[in-house]
Structure 1
Amino acid sequence: MLLEKILQSQGFGSRKHCQQLIKNGAVSIDGQVISDVKFKIAEQQLKFQVYSKEYQYREHVYLALNKPQNYECSHQATHHFSVFDLIDELLLNRGVQCIGRLDQDTTGMLLLTDDGQFLQALTHPKKHVPKVYQVETTDPISQAQIEQLLKGVELRNEKGIYTASQVKKLAENKLSLTIHQGVYHQVKRMLAAVGNKVIKLHRQQVGLLDLGQLEEGQYLYLNEQQIQAAKNQSESIQSLE
Protein backbone atom coordinates (compact mmCIF):
# COMPACT_ATOMS: atom_id res chain seq x y z
CA MET A 1 0.00 0.00 0.00
CA LEU A 2 1.17 3.55 -0.64
CA LEU A 3 2.64 5.10 2.49
CA GLU A 4 0.45 8.18 2.07
CA LYS A 5 -2.67 5.96 2.14
CA ILE A 6 -1.41 4.19 5.25
CA LEU A 7 -0.96 7.52 7.01
CA GLN A 8 -4.40 8.68 5.92
CA SER A 9 -6.03 5.45 7.15
CA GLN A 10 -4.39 5.92 10.56
CA GLY A 11 -5.93 9.34 11.08
CA PHE A 12 -3.07 11.65 10.09
CA GLY A 13 -5.29 13.83 7.90
CA SER A 14 -6.11 14.36 4.27
CA ARG A 15 -4.17 12.75 1.44
CA LYS A 16 -2.52 16.08 0.67
CA HIS A 17 -1.48 16.55 4.29
CA CYS A 18 -0.03 13.02 4.45
CA GLN A 19 1.91 13.66 1.25
CA GLN A 20 3.31 16.82 2.81
CA LEU A 21 4.39 14.92 5.92
CA ILE A 22 6.37 12.55 3.71
CA LYS A 23 7.90 15.37 1.62
CA ASN A 24 8.94 17.17 4.81
CA GLY A 25 10.88 14.11 5.98
CA ALA A 26 8.61 13.63 8.99
CA VAL A 27 7.98 9.93 8.33
CA SER A 28 10.49 7.15 8.89
CA ILE A 29 10.46 3.35 8.94
CA ASP A 30 13.09 1.38 10.84
CA GLY A 31 15.01 4.60 11.39
CA GLN A 32 15.11 5.47 7.67
CA VAL A 33 13.43 8.69 6.55
CA ILE A 34 10.99 8.15 3.69
CA SER A 35 10.58 11.18 1.45
CA ASP A 36 9.12 9.49 -1.64
CA VAL A 37 5.33 10.07 -1.73
CA LYS A 38 4.97 7.01 -4.00
CA PHE A 39 6.72 4.72 -1.53
CA LYS A 40 4.93 1.40 -1.08
CA ILE A 41 5.13 -1.02 1.83
CA ALA A 42 3.10 -3.91 3.28
CA GLU A 43 0.88 -2.61 6.06
CA GLN A 44 0.67 -5.85 8.10
CA GLN A 45 2.59 -5.53 11.38
CA LEU A 46 4.03 -2.23 10.16
CA LYS A 47 5.55 0.16 12.67
CA PHE A 48 6.53 3.65 11.59
CA GLN A 49 7.53 6.99 13.08
CA VAL A 50 6.06 10.42 12.52
CA TYR A 51 8.19 13.23 13.97
CA SER A 52 10.09 10.50 15.88
CA LYS A 53 6.95 9.19 17.62
CA GLU A 54 6.29 5.51 16.92
CA TYR A 55 2.98 4.19 15.66
CA GLN A 56 1.68 0.75 14.76
CA TYR A 57 -0.56 0.20 11.76
CA ARG A 58 -4.02 -1.02 12.76
CA GLU A 59 -6.69 -1.81 10.20
CA HIS A 60 -9.27 -1.11 12.91
CA VAL A 61 -8.95 0.10 16.47
CA TYR A 62 -10.70 -1.40 19.49
CA LEU A 63 -10.45 0.59 22.71
CA ALA A 64 -11.48 0.13 26.33
CA LEU A 65 -11.91 3.31 28.36
CA ASN A 66 -12.47 3.60 32.11
CA LYS A 67 -15.05 6.36 31.96
CA PRO A 68 -15.08 8.92 34.81
CA GLN A 69 -18.17 10.65 36.18
CA ASN A 70 -19.56 13.75 34.46
CA TYR A 71 -18.63 12.62 30.94
CA GLU A 72 -21.23 12.11 28.21
CA CYS A 73 -20.98 9.49 25.47
CA SER A 74 -21.51 12.09 22.78
CA HIS A 75 -19.40 14.22 20.46
CA GLN A 76 -21.76 17.12 21.19
CA ALA A 77 -21.89 17.04 25.00
CA THR A 78 -24.37 19.57 26.36
CA HIS A 79 -23.99 19.77 30.14
CA HIS A 80 -20.77 17.85 30.85
CA PHE A 81 -17.51 16.82 29.23
CA SER A 82 -17.41 14.45 26.26
CA VAL A 83 -15.69 11.05 26.53
CA PHE A 84 -14.13 11.92 23.19
CA ASP A 85 -12.15 14.64 24.98
CA LEU A 86 -10.20 11.75 26.53
CA ILE A 87 -9.29 10.20 23.16
CA ASP A 88 -6.28 11.01 20.97
CA GLU A 89 -7.02 13.22 17.94
CA LEU A 90 -5.77 10.55 15.52
CA LEU A 91 -8.45 8.19 16.84
CA LEU A 92 -11.10 10.88 16.47
CA ASN A 93 -9.98 11.35 12.85
CA ARG A 94 -10.58 7.63 12.34
CA GLY A 95 -14.18 8.05 13.46
CA VAL A 96 -14.21 5.90 16.59
CA GLN A 97 -17.67 5.47 18.13
CA CYS A 98 -18.93 4.25 21.48
CA ILE A 99 -20.25 0.70 21.64
CA GLY A 100 -23.34 1.40 23.69
CA ARG A 101 -23.53 4.26 26.16
CA LEU A 102 -23.09 5.03 29.84
CA ASP A 103 -24.95 7.78 31.69
CA GLN A 104 -22.88 10.83 32.61
CA ASP A 105 -22.85 9.81 36.28
CA THR A 106 -21.99 6.14 35.59
CA THR A 107 -18.34 5.15 35.63
CA GLY A 108 -16.49 2.16 34.23
CA MET A 109 -15.93 0.24 31.06
CA LEU A 110 -16.79 1.86 27.76
CA LEU A 111 -15.74 0.21 24.50
CA LEU A 112 -15.03 2.22 21.35
CA THR A 113 -14.16 1.21 17.78
CA ASP A 114 -14.04 2.33 14.16
CA ASP A 115 -15.10 -1.16 13.02
CA GLY A 116 -18.73 -0.77 12.00
CA GLN A 117 -19.49 -4.49 11.81
CA PHE A 118 -18.01 -5.11 15.24
CA LEU A 119 -20.01 -2.21 16.66
CA GLN A 120 -23.28 -3.52 15.23
CA ALA A 121 -22.57 -7.06 16.44
CA LEU A 122 -22.03 -6.02 20.05
CA THR A 123 -24.96 -3.60 20.16
CA HIS A 124 -27.53 -5.80 18.37
CA PRO A 125 -30.42 -6.63 20.74
CA LYS A 126 -30.15 -10.35 19.91
CA LYS A 127 -26.51 -10.45 21.05
CA HIS A 128 -27.43 -10.26 24.77
CA VAL A 129 -23.92 -9.36 25.85
CA PRO A 130 -23.69 -9.64 29.67
CA LYS A 131 -22.70 -6.49 31.53
CA VAL A 132 -21.56 -6.53 35.16
CA TYR A 133 -22.24 -3.50 37.34
CA GLN A 134 -21.20 -2.60 40.86
CA VAL A 135 -24.12 -0.82 42.48
CA GLU A 136 -24.25 1.31 45.63
CA THR A 137 -27.68 2.06 47.08
CA THR A 138 -29.22 4.48 49.57
CA ASP A 139 -30.87 1.76 51.66
CA PRO A 140 -29.55 -1.63 52.80
CA ILE A 141 -30.09 -4.39 50.24
CA SER A 142 -32.43 -7.10 51.45
CA GLN A 143 -32.57 -10.74 50.41
CA ALA A 144 -36.10 -10.14 49.18
CA GLN A 145 -34.83 -7.43 46.81
CA ILE A 146 -32.10 -9.74 45.50
CA GLU A 147 -34.63 -12.50 44.84
CA GLN A 148 -36.93 -10.04 43.09
CA LEU A 149 -34.11 -8.82 40.83
CA LEU A 150 -33.31 -12.41 39.88
CA LYS A 151 -36.98 -13.20 39.28
CA GLY A 152 -37.48 -10.08 37.17
CA VAL A 153 -39.30 -6.76 37.36
CA GLU A 154 -41.47 -4.68 35.07
CA LEU A 155 -40.23 -1.28 33.98
CA ARG A 156 -42.56 1.54 33.09
CA ASN A 157 -42.99 2.08 29.33
CA GLU A 158 -40.98 -1.06 28.57
CA LYS A 159 -42.31 -4.39 27.34
CA GLY A 160 -41.50 -7.66 29.07
CA ILE A 161 -39.72 -8.61 32.28
CA TYR A 162 -36.20 -7.43 33.08
CA THR A 163 -34.05 -9.76 35.13
CA ALA A 164 -30.57 -9.88 36.58
CA SER A 165 -28.82 -13.13 35.67
CA GLN A 166 -26.55 -12.81 38.70
CA VAL A 167 -26.72 -10.76 41.89
CA LYS A 168 -24.04 -10.84 44.58
CA LYS A 169 -24.24 -8.81 47.76
CA LEU A 170 -20.87 -7.13 48.40
CA ALA A 171 -21.78 -5.03 51.44
CA GLU A 172 -24.89 -3.79 53.21
CA ASN A 173 -25.49 -1.14 50.56
CA LYS A 174 -23.48 -2.58 47.67
CA LEU A 175 -24.01 -5.39 45.17
CA SER A 176 -22.71 -6.78 41.90
CA LEU A 177 -25.42 -7.20 39.28
CA THR A 178 -25.28 -8.77 35.82
CA ILE A 179 -27.79 -7.89 33.11
CA HIS A 180 -28.08 -8.89 29.45
CA GLN A 181 -30.38 -6.17 28.14
CA GLY A 182 -29.59 -2.48 27.86
CA VAL A 183 -32.65 -0.25 28.02
CA TYR A 184 -32.53 3.35 29.23
CA HIS A 185 -31.34 3.64 32.87
CA GLN A 186 -32.03 -0.07 33.30
CA VAL A 187 -30.07 -0.77 36.49
CA LYS A 188 -31.35 2.36 38.24
CA ARG A 189 -34.93 1.55 37.23
CA MET A 190 -34.63 -2.09 38.31
CA LEU A 191 -33.43 -1.07 41.78
CA ALA A 192 -36.20 1.51 41.99
CA ALA A 193 -38.70 -1.21 41.05
CA VAL A 194 -37.68 -3.26 44.10
CA GLY A 195 -37.88 -0.25 46.43
CA ASN A 196 -34.30 1.01 46.54
CA LYS A 197 -32.29 3.78 44.88
CA VAL A 198 -28.91 3.77 43.12
CA ILE A 199 -26.48 6.44 44.29
CA LYS A 200 -23.37 5.09 42.55
CA LEU A 201 -23.04 2.89 39.47
CA HIS A 202 -19.90 1.41 37.95
CA ARG A 203 -19.62 -0.99 35.00
CA GLN A 204 -16.80 -3.45 35.63
CA GLN A 205 -17.27 -5.91 32.80
CA VAL A 206 -18.71 -6.11 29.28
CA GLY A 207 -19.04 -9.57 27.85
CA LEU A 208 -15.79 -11.36 28.64
CA LEU A 209 -13.74 -8.18 29.06
CA ASP A 210 -13.00 -7.12 32.64
CA LEU A 211 -11.80 -3.59 33.42
CA GLY A 212 -8.99 -4.92 35.63
CA GLN A 213 -6.78 -2.14 37.02
CA LEU A 214 -7.20 0.34 34.17
CA GLU A 215 -7.11 3.79 35.75
CA GLU A 216 -10.08 6.14 35.56
CA GLY A 217 -9.95 8.40 32.52
CA GLN A 218 -7.40 6.16 30.78
CA TYR A 219 -7.88 3.94 27.74
CA LEU A 220 -5.96 1.18 26.03
CA TYR A 221 -6.00 -0.75 22.77
CA LEU A 222 -7.49 -4.22 23.04
CA ASN A 223 -5.06 -6.91 21.99
CA GLU A 224 -6.00 -9.68 19.59
CA GLN A 225 -6.96 -12.08 22.37
CA GLN A 226 -9.21 -9.50 24.01
CA ILE A 227 -10.84 -8.60 20.68
CA GLN A 228 -11.61 -12.26 20.06
CA ALA A 229 -12.97 -12.60 23.60
CA ALA A 230 -15.39 -9.77 22.84
CA LYS A 231 -16.47 -11.50 19.64
CA ASN A 232 -16.67 -15.01 21.10
CA GLN A 233 -18.66 -15.29 24.33
CA SER A 234 -17.48 -18.87 24.94
CA GLU A 235 -13.91 -17.86 25.79
CA SER A 236 -12.54 -17.11 29.26
CA ILE A 237 -12.73 -13.63 30.80
CA GLN A 238 -9.95 -11.28 29.68
CA SER A 239 -8.68 -8.67 32.13
CA LEU A 240 -7.39 -5.36 30.76
CA GLU A 241 -4.15 -5.53 32.74
Structure 2
Amino acid sequence: MLKSPPMIFERLLHSQGFGSRRQCRALIESGAVAVGEAVLDDPDAELDPRGLSFTVDSVRWDYREHAYLMLHKPAGFECSRDPQHHASVFALLPRPLVERNVQCVGRLDQDTTGLLLLSDDGAFVHQNTSPKRKVPKRYRVSTARPIEDAQLDALRAGVLLRDESQPLAAWAAERENATTLLLTIQEGKYHQVKRMVAAAGNHVEALHRDAIGNLTLPASLGPGQWQWLDEADFAALRTPMSHPDHRP
Protein backbone atom coordinates (compact mmCIF):
# COMPACT_ATOMS: atom_id res chain seq x y z
CA MET A 1 0.00 0.00 0.00
CA LEU A 2 1.34 3.42 -0.94
CA LYS A 3 2.27 5.80 1.83
CA SER A 4 0.61 9.17 2.21
CA PRO A 5 2.71 12.17 1.19
CA PRO A 6 4.93 13.12 4.12
CA MET A 7 4.08 16.21 6.16
CA ILE A 8 6.39 18.60 7.97
CA PHE A 9 5.88 17.95 11.69
CA GLU A 10 5.09 21.58 12.44
CA ARG A 11 2.42 21.65 9.74
CA LEU A 12 0.98 18.32 10.85
CA LEU A 13 0.57 19.53 14.42
CA HIS A 14 -1.04 22.75 13.17
CA SER A 15 -3.57 20.75 11.12
CA GLN A 16 -4.63 18.95 14.30
CA GLY A 17 -5.54 22.14 16.13
CA PHE A 18 -2.52 22.72 18.37
CA GLY A 19 -2.15 26.40 17.56
CA SER A 20 -0.56 28.57 14.88
CA ARG A 21 2.43 27.32 12.90
CA ARG A 22 4.69 29.37 15.15
CA GLN A 23 3.06 28.01 18.30
CA CYS A 24 3.37 24.44 17.03
CA ARG A 25 7.05 24.95 16.21
CA ALA A 26 7.67 26.25 19.73
CA LEU A 27 5.69 23.36 21.24
CA ILE A 28 7.79 20.82 19.35
CA GLU A 29 11.08 22.51 20.13
CA SER A 30 10.17 22.58 23.84
CA GLY A 31 10.13 18.78 23.92
CA ALA A 32 6.41 18.57 24.72
CA VAL A 33 5.60 16.32 21.75
CA ALA A 34 6.53 12.67 21.39
CA VAL A 35 6.04 10.21 18.54
CA GLY A 36 5.98 6.64 19.75
CA GLU A 37 8.08 6.50 22.90
CA ALA A 38 10.53 9.22 21.89
CA VAL A 39 10.38 12.99 22.08
CA LEU A 40 10.64 14.52 18.62
CA ASP A 41 11.86 18.10 18.86
CA ASP A 42 12.55 18.76 15.18
CA PRO A 43 9.65 20.80 13.75
CA ASP A 44 10.94 20.23 10.21
CA ALA A 45 10.95 16.43 10.43
CA GLU A 46 8.94 14.77 7.66
CA LEU A 47 6.35 12.21 8.82
CA ASP A 48 3.80 9.98 7.15
CA PRO A 49 0.54 11.13 8.80
CA ARG A 50 -1.45 7.98 8.08
CA GLY A 51 -1.87 5.96 11.27
CA LEU A 52 0.38 8.32 13.20
CA SER A 53 -0.05 8.58 16.96
CA PHE A 54 1.64 11.26 19.03
CA THR A 55 1.42 12.73 22.50
CA VAL A 56 1.29 16.38 23.48
CA ASP A 57 2.07 16.98 27.15
CA SER A 58 1.57 13.23 27.68
CA VAL A 59 -1.94 13.22 26.15
CA ARG A 60 -2.26 10.83 23.21
CA TRP A 61 -3.70 11.92 19.89
CA ASP A 62 -4.12 10.10 16.58
CA TYR A 63 -3.70 12.00 13.33
CA ARG A 64 -7.08 12.51 11.66
CA GLU A 65 -7.50 14.32 8.36
CA HIS A 66 -10.99 15.34 9.51
CA ALA A 67 -12.67 15.27 12.91
CA TYR A 68 -15.96 13.41 13.26
CA LEU A 69 -17.43 13.30 16.76
CA MET A 70 -20.58 12.68 18.72
CA LEU A 71 -21.39 14.58 21.89
CA HIS A 72 -24.00 13.87 24.55
CA LYS A 73 -25.25 17.42 24.89
CA PRO A 74 -26.44 18.38 28.38
CA ALA A 75 -29.09 20.98 29.08
CA GLY A 76 -27.95 24.57 29.50
CA PHE A 77 -25.57 24.71 26.53
CA GLU A 78 -25.98 26.57 23.24
CA CYS A 79 -24.89 25.12 19.89
CA SER A 80 -23.01 28.30 19.04
CA ARG A 81 -19.50 29.71 19.16
CA ASP A 82 -21.05 33.01 20.20
CA PRO A 83 -23.59 31.98 22.89
CA GLN A 84 -26.00 34.60 24.15
CA HIS A 85 -27.37 33.31 27.46
CA HIS A 86 -25.67 30.00 28.27
CA ALA A 87 -22.32 28.26 27.89
CA SER A 88 -21.25 27.01 24.46
CA VAL A 89 -21.17 23.28 23.66
CA PHE A 90 -17.64 23.91 22.40
CA ALA A 91 -16.60 24.45 26.02
CA LEU A 92 -17.13 20.70 26.45
CA LEU A 93 -14.47 19.81 23.85
CA PRO A 94 -10.66 19.75 24.11
CA ARG A 95 -9.06 22.91 22.80
CA PRO A 96 -7.45 21.28 19.73
CA LEU A 97 -10.87 20.24 18.43
CA VAL A 98 -12.19 23.77 18.92
CA GLU A 99 -9.11 25.22 17.24
CA ARG A 100 -9.54 23.03 14.18
CA ASN A 101 -13.00 24.57 13.81
CA VAL A 102 -15.39 21.67 14.27
CA GLN A 103 -18.99 22.71 13.66
CA CYS A 104 -22.31 21.41 14.97
CA VAL A 105 -24.10 19.17 12.48
CA GLY A 106 -27.48 20.78 13.03
CA ARG A 107 -28.46 22.29 16.37
CA LEU A 108 -30.24 21.46 19.58
CA ASP A 109 -31.97 24.08 21.73
CA GLN A 110 -30.18 24.98 24.94
CA ASP A 111 -32.67 22.98 27.03
CA THR A 112 -32.64 19.95 24.69
CA THR A 113 -30.28 17.11 25.53
CA GLY A 114 -28.89 14.20 23.59
CA LEU A 115 -27.03 13.22 20.44
CA LEU A 116 -25.13 15.98 18.64
CA LEU A 117 -22.68 15.40 15.79
CA LEU A 118 -19.73 17.72 15.14
CA SER A 119 -17.16 17.84 12.35
CA ASP A 120 -14.71 20.05 10.49
CA ASP A 121 -15.60 18.32 7.20
CA GLY A 122 -17.94 20.68 5.35
CA ALA A 123 -19.19 17.94 3.01
CA PHE A 124 -20.14 15.74 5.96
CA VAL A 125 -21.94 18.63 7.69
CA HIS A 126 -23.88 19.46 4.52
CA GLN A 127 -24.75 15.83 3.81
CA ASN A 128 -26.25 15.35 7.25
CA THR A 129 -28.11 18.67 7.42
CA SER A 130 -29.40 19.08 3.86
CA PRO A 131 -33.23 19.14 3.81
CA LYS A 132 -33.09 17.08 0.60
CA ARG A 133 -31.64 14.09 2.47
CA LYS A 134 -34.46 14.06 5.04
CA VAL A 135 -32.43 12.29 7.72
CA PRO A 136 -34.83 11.03 10.42
CA LYS A 137 -34.06 12.24 13.94
CA ARG A 138 -35.72 10.62 16.95
CA TYR A 139 -36.62 12.49 20.11
CA ARG A 140 -37.78 11.19 23.48
CA VAL A 141 -40.38 13.74 24.54
CA SER A 142 -41.64 14.12 28.10
CA THR A 143 -45.11 15.65 27.97
CA ALA A 144 -47.09 17.64 30.53
CA ARG A 145 -50.23 15.52 30.09
CA PRO A 146 -50.91 11.91 29.14
CA ILE A 147 -50.53 11.27 25.42
CA GLU A 148 -53.85 10.53 23.76
CA ASP A 149 -54.42 8.38 20.69
CA ALA A 150 -55.90 11.41 18.93
CA GLN A 151 -52.65 13.31 19.51
CA LEU A 152 -50.61 10.47 17.98
CA ASP A 153 -52.97 10.38 15.00
CA ALA A 154 -52.63 14.15 14.54
CA LEU A 155 -48.83 14.01 14.65
CA ARG A 156 -48.72 11.18 12.10
CA ALA A 157 -51.25 12.83 9.79
CA GLY A 158 -49.66 16.27 10.04
CA VAL A 159 -50.23 19.43 12.07
CA LEU A 160 -50.19 22.96 10.70
CA LEU A 161 -47.76 25.24 12.49
CA ARG A 162 -47.85 29.01 12.53
CA ASP A 163 -45.86 30.52 9.64
CA GLU A 164 -45.95 27.20 7.74
CA SER A 165 -47.99 26.82 4.57
CA GLN A 166 -48.25 23.02 4.72
CA PRO A 167 -48.86 20.62 7.62
CA LEU A 168 -45.83 18.84 9.05
CA ALA A 169 -46.21 15.13 9.71
CA ALA A 170 -44.04 13.07 12.02
CA TRP A 171 -42.03 10.32 10.33
CA ALA A 172 -42.98 8.21 13.35
CA ALA A 173 -44.85 8.85 16.59
CA GLU A 174 -45.13 6.20 19.27
CA ARG A 175 -46.16 6.29 22.93
CA GLU A 176 -43.47 4.78 25.17
CA ASN A 177 -45.52 5.33 28.33
CA ALA A 178 -48.32 7.63 29.45
CA THR A 179 -46.25 10.83 29.26
CA THR A 180 -43.28 9.81 27.07
CA LEU A 181 -43.52 10.17 23.31
CA LEU A 182 -41.00 8.82 20.79
CA LEU A 183 -41.23 11.32 17.95
CA THR A 184 -39.19 11.07 14.75
CA ILE A 185 -39.03 13.96 12.30
CA GLN A 186 -37.12 14.55 9.06
CA GLU A 187 -37.08 18.34 9.04
CA GLY A 188 -35.21 20.67 11.36
CA LYS A 189 -37.42 23.71 11.68
CA TYR A 190 -37.28 26.16 14.58
CA HIS A 191 -38.55 24.50 17.79
CA GLN A 192 -40.27 21.97 15.54
CA VAL A 193 -40.89 19.20 18.06
CA LYS A 194 -42.20 21.58 20.71
CA ARG A 195 -44.47 23.30 18.22
CA MET A 196 -45.79 20.04 16.76
CA VAL A 197 -46.61 18.63 20.18
CA ALA A 198 -48.35 21.90 21.13
CA ALA A 199 -50.33 21.86 17.88
CA ALA A 200 -51.46 18.31 18.68
CA GLY A 201 -52.78 19.45 22.06
CA ASN A 202 -50.01 18.74 24.56
CA HIS A 203 -46.90 20.46 25.96
CA VAL A 204 -43.23 19.45 26.01
CA GLU A 205 -41.70 19.30 29.48
CA ALA A 206 -38.32 17.85 28.44
CA LEU A 207 -36.74 16.92 25.12
CA HIS A 208 -33.94 14.45 24.40
CA ARG A 209 -32.60 13.35 20.99
CA ASP A 210 -31.43 9.76 21.11
CA ALA A 211 -30.92 8.91 17.43
CA ILE A 212 -29.96 10.37 14.06
CA GLY A 213 -30.88 7.91 11.34
CA ASN A 214 -29.71 4.50 12.55
CA LEU A 215 -27.06 6.03 14.80
CA THR A 216 -28.14 5.95 18.44
CA LEU A 217 -26.60 7.68 21.41
CA PRO A 218 -24.52 5.09 23.32
CA ALA A 219 -25.68 4.41 26.88
CA SER A 220 -22.01 4.58 27.91
CA LEU A 221 -21.66 8.20 26.78
CA GLY A 222 -22.70 10.41 29.69
CA PRO A 223 -23.95 14.02 29.51
CA GLY A 224 -21.11 16.34 28.50
CA GLN A 225 -18.96 13.50 27.15
CA TRP A 226 -17.80 13.10 23.55
CA GLN A 227 -16.19 10.39 21.43
CA TRP A 228 -14.88 9.88 17.88
CA LEU A 229 -17.20 8.30 15.34
CA ASP A 230 -16.02 4.84 14.32
CA GLU A 231 -16.71 2.74 11.23
CA ALA A 232 -19.86 1.24 12.74
CA ASP A 233 -21.17 4.75 13.40
CA PHE A 234 -20.53 5.81 9.81
CA ALA A 235 -22.26 2.66 8.57
CA ALA A 236 -25.28 3.45 10.74
CA LEU A 237 -25.47 6.97 9.30
CA ARG A 238 -25.22 5.66 5.74
CA THR A 239 -27.87 2.94 6.11
CA PRO A 240 -31.39 4.14 5.23
CA MET A 241 -33.96 3.69 7.97
CA SER A 242 -36.93 1.41 7.47
CA HIS A 243 -40.18 3.27 7.99
CA PRO A 244 -42.19 1.96 10.96
CA ASP A 245 -45.58 0.42 10.34
CA HIS A 246 -48.34 2.59 11.80
CA ARG A 247 -51.08 0.09 11.27
CA PRO A 248 -52.89 -1.13 14.42
| TM-score, length-scaled by structure 2 | 0.91
Counterpart of 1:186, as a letter, is Q
Q: How does 1:57-76 map to 2 (within 5 A)?
A: 57-76=63-82
Aligned to 2:111: 105
Q: Aligned runs of 1:174-189 on 2, under 5 Å?
A: 174-189=180-195
**1:218 counterpart letter in structure 2:** Q
- Shift in Å at residue 229 of structure 1? 2.8
Verify the 8 A CA contact 1:229 1:235 in the aligned structure 2. no
Q: Distance in 2 between matches of 1:135 and 1:155?
A: 18
- 2:28 and 2:147 mapped to 1: Cα distance? 62
The gaps in structure 1 that reach 5 residues or longer are: 237-241
- Alpha carbons 1:155, 1:193 under 8 Å: kept: yes
Aligned positions, number? 235
Matching residue's letter, 1:135: V
* Cα RMSD for the two superposed structures: 1.4
Given that 1:168 and 1:176 are in contact with CA atoms closer than 8 Å, whether structure 2 keeps it comes out as yes
Residue 51 of structure 1 aligns with which residue?
57
TM-superposed deviation, 1:235: 7.8
Query: In the alignment, is the contact (CA less than 8 A) between 1:62 and 1:227 conserved in 2?
Result: no
Q: Distance in 2 between matches of 1:212 and 1:105?
A: 20
Match of 2:229 in 1: 222
User: Does structure 1 retain, via aligned residues, the 8 Å contact 2:213–2:241?
Assistant: no
What amino acid sits opposite 2:20 in the alignment?
Answer: S
The answer to whether structure 1 residue 5 and structure 2 residue 20 are counterparts is no
* Higher deviation after alignment, 221-230 or 121-130: 221-230
Q: Which has the larger displacement, 136-145 or 29-38? A: 29-38
User: Match of 1:163?
Assistant: 169
Matches within 5 A, 1:106-121: 106-121=112-127
Q: Which amino acid counterpart does residue 219 of structure 1 have in structure 2?
A: W
- The runs of 5 or more residues in structure 2 that have no matched partner are 1-6, 243-248
Q: Distance in 1 between matches of 2:176 and 2:43?
A: 59
Identity of aligned residues (%): 47
Deviations 1:192-232 (A, max 9, x none): 111111111110001121002111111111113312432x1
Contact residue 103 and residue 120 of structure 2 kept, 8 A: yes
Which amino acid is the alignment partner of residue 57 of structure 1? Answer: Y
Match of residue 89 from structure 2: 83
Give 1:42 shift. 0.6
Is the CA contact (8 Å cut-off) linking 1:25 and 1:33 kept in structure 2?
A: yes
Q: TM-score, normalised by structure 1?
A: 0.94
Q: Distance in 2 between matches of 1:13 and 1:159?
A: 48
